[in-house]
Amino acid sequence: MIAIVDCGMGNLRSVHKAFEQVGHPATITQDPDAIRGAQAVVLPGQGAFRDCIAHLGQHELLEPVIEFIRSGRPYLGICLGLQLLLTESEEFGCHKGMNVIQGRVCRFPAGMSDHAGSPLKVPHMGWNQASFVRRPPIFEGIPDGAFFYFAHSYVVEPINEDVVATTTEYGMSFVSGIWHEQLFGVQFHPEKSQRHGLRLLKNFGELGR
């Protein structure tokens, strides 16, 4: 069973339905034991970093998630669920993350523009491409440069570039996917990304079988 961690925010139902659609049973949970005993764990999230990390701590979910990741079983962080993996975030001050991946979460720089010089809005919302630095197994059958749906104002900056799987261009090149062994994180929302997003979730679900 895939455990979808209820962190108090994010499109939990959309993620759950997407896994069901591709044939992988999943459950939304705040039960630490369910997380520890899962075959795979997904942490989706939208909203503020500090609020999500506080919610996980208050519901005694933070340590079970970290323990699960250290066990080597498949983990997928979606959007905020990716950002929480890092050491700290500068969103609304400095807030500590899980420190599974060393690095920082930083806001897009002010005054970004596209190649034509037109100003770009933050948050970055809409469809954009993910280009491979390395091809993780969850991207099996997905072409380089495939489009996914993004909705975020902050980006991850890992210290170790070896964990970078995909990058995306939006006024700058930013990390849109990470991969280390069975640990995966994506800045975009696969549950909102139609066929490529569903394929990614299907591939992830097969890792936990």
Active site residues: 79, 189, 191
> Identity (one letter) of the amino acid at 5?
V
DSSP letters, 149-186, are EEEESEEEEES-GGGEEEEEESSSEEEEEEEETTEEEE
Distance between CA atoms of residues 19 and 68, nearest Å? 20
H or E stretch covering 51: helix 49-58
Phi, psi of 103 (to 5 degrees): 155, -175
Asked if 74 and 40 touch (Cβ cutoff 8 Å), the reply is yes
- Strand 95-96 and strand 86-89: pairing? antiparallel
Q: Which of these, 89, 118, 92, lies nearest to 105 by C-alpha position?
A: 89
